[in-house]
Amino acid sequence: MDVALGVTCSHQPACPAADACDREAAHTVATHPEQGWSLLCNGVLLFDDTGELLPNGVVIAPHRPTDVRPERFRHLAS
């Protein structure tokens, strides 16, 4: 829980803070699929293109493929 950002996480164990690299592992507290975003309990707005808006106003550009094709990655497993 990051009190400084005014975010309340009541989960135990506490979810990753908004500035943690695993911030997306926090619980979803609100989801608006029609608008394409979800709010995590650490205050992160997670967009369905994997972009993020942090509570401190920092914007994280989309960073994961949203149309992963497994066949493109088969060579990595062999």
* Site residues for Zn ion per CB under 5 A: 9, 11, 15, 27, 41
Q: Which residues contact 10 (CB under 8 A, 6 or more apart)?
A: 1, 41
Residue 27 or 32 with smaller CB distance to Zn ion: 27
Integer Cα distance of 15 and 26 in angstroms: 5
Return the number of the residue (11 or 63) whose C-beta is nearest Zn ion: 11
- Residue 14 or 62: the one with the smaller Cβ distance to Zn ion is 14
Least spacing, CB of residue 11 vs Zn ion, in Å: 3
